[in-house]
Amino acid sequence: MKNRIAMTIKSLTILSFLAIMAIVLAYFSSSKAWAQQPLAANSEMISQAMPEIEESPAADSGQTAIAETNGRVTVKNLWKKFVNRYQIASLKVKILVVIIIYLLFSLVLLFIFIIINRTIKTRERKQAKNIRETYQEELTSYLFGEENQVFEFTGINHSFNRDIFINELLSLHNNLYGEAAIRLRDLYFNLDLYKDSLRKIDKRRWDIKAKGFKELAQMDVKDSSRQISKYVSSRNKILRMESQLALVKLNEEDPLFFLDDFKYELTEWEQINILNTLRYHEINIDSFERWMDNSNDSVVMFSVKLAGLFKHIQSWPKVLELLEHENPDVRLVAIKTLDMFEIAENTGPFIEIYMKEQWLEEKKDDAFYNIYMDRNRLAAIHALKSVATADEIPFFEYVLKTEKDFNILKKAVGILLEITPGGPDFVDQAYERADPELRKIIENTKQIAAQ
């Protein structure tokens, strides 16, 4: 609605500007045409425009002169002057006059449309408010009334009222649990309101479709899954996400089935919403390994994240394999998920991925690609924090000698300070033979650890 009003105002502004410009052009063009007419033509025009002056008596002429002097010109005389002026005008002037009339007519129509539209919308808002209040009272009476009581809702057969009723019923249902929520769901089906929600899926507007998805998912209309699944790969991002969330809720046995053939990139926002839906409805999935071999890297990364968040330790071997994945983003997610597992056997893979990423950095002359390498190596060092022991001190010695990245050096020193026994002593020894830059890093890390 706001967009329509904005477009209407913009159209009015443009038309007003064009009308003013046309009037100005017409004025100057007509004035020029008037001045360029021969004297005889001007005389003829004057005589045609004011015939009453030639034909009327002297007394009438005096009265006409007085009337014109006072600016009292009748509509009929003005119209005659306009027509005569238009007839003798050049083609350019005639075109401008037509444009002016068209623009003015359009402006009048637009103003009338705005007034009518605002009046209708104001009346609909007042009507909707009254109906909403009525349904709130009736739904409250229904919930607190007897279970077998026959209850009739005001104007429920009217489509406009039914939409408001569905909104109020779902809003109330969303805040209730137990028997009250069950009664509202039964009412939703008894009044065939689910059919209204199903019809919304077939509407052209995407926002109405999405609204239908939400209604059907909230009221657990499982038969609607087939219709909703048609939009899981929609080009419209919002429609696609709403269909995904609805399907997660409606398909408890296989809530993520749509990921099997998912074509688009699964955005972080979509991933967060799917995760929240799984948690809110307490939907358990035995394994996410099914999607770890998917051709869509975003699906692979999401499944690996879910394995870490839900502590699927049984997926540990599969996640280890992804450390060899060609996509550095997938490798990064695999490192972070293995860190969540906190398995001591991860120490070797973390050191190995650090060394491998370092070798790739030296081999490839690509600054953008090296950013991924630095990020993955940092993640590998960070993951060692929970599993490193004194046996890994030689590895950290190698890191302090060869590493150039400030964040990695700082993280390595911080881990060494927490390894007991031997870690803090090694840091002191490293400080004695370190260069000035590494000494500053060690000093800074010690101060932070001491706080």
Instruction: Report yes or no on whether pTM surpasses 0.85.
Output: no
71 versus 307: which is more confidently predicted?
A: 307
The per-residue pLDDT for 327 is 92
- Give pLDDT tens digits for 132-150: 899 888 888 888 876 666 7
pLDDT at 304 over 70: yes
For the segment 16-27, the average pLDDT, to the nearest whole number, is 57
The per-residue pLDDT for 17 is 59
**Weakest-pLDDT range from 75-79, 226-230, 422-426:** 75-79
Instruction: List CB contacts of 375: < 8 A, sequence separation 6 or more.
Output: 328, 332
Alpha-carbon span 232 to 47, nearest angstrom: 78
150 versus 202: which is more confidently predicted?
A: 202
316 versus 157: which is more confidently predicted?
A: 316
The per-residue pLDDT for 296 is 94
The per-residue pLDDT for 152 is 82
pLDDT at 25 over 60: no
| pLDDT > 90 in the chain, percent | 46
Residue type at 180? Answer: A
For the segment 219-227, the average pLDDT, to the nearest whole number, is 91
The per-residue pLDDT for 368 is 61
pLDDT at 246 over 60: yes
Nearest to 113 by CA among 22, 190, 4: 4
All structural domains of the chain with their residue ranges? 2-124
- Give pLDDT tens digits for 384-438: 998 999 999 999 999 999 888 899 999 999 999 999 889 999 999 988 888 889 9
Alpha-carbon span 400 to 411, nearest angstrom: 10
What is the pLDDT of the chain when averaged over all its residues? 82
**How far apart are the two ends of the chain, measured CA to CA in Å?**
57
Residue 118 is encoded by which pair of tokens? Answer: 């605002």
Residue 438 near residue 400 (C-beta atoms within 8 A):
yes
Alpha-carbon span 52 to 276, nearest angstrom: 87
Return the DSSP state at 268: H
Q: Could you please report the per-residue DSSP string of 357-423?
A: HHHHHHH---HHHHHHHHHHHHHHHHHGGGT--GGGHHHHHHHHHH---HHHHHHHHHHHHHSTTTH
The per-residue pLDDT for 28 is 46
pLDDT-derived band at 366, boundaries 50, 70, 90: low
**Weakest-pLDDT range from 105-114, 156-165, 193-202, 361-370:** 361-370
Alpha-carbon span 218 to 157, nearest angstrom: 22
Residue 271 is encoded by which pair of tokens? Answer: 């991933």
Alpha-carbon span 197 to 52, nearest angstrom: 73
Please return the burial class of 201, using the count of CB atoms within 10 Å of its CB with bins 0-12, 13-18 and 19+. Answer: buried
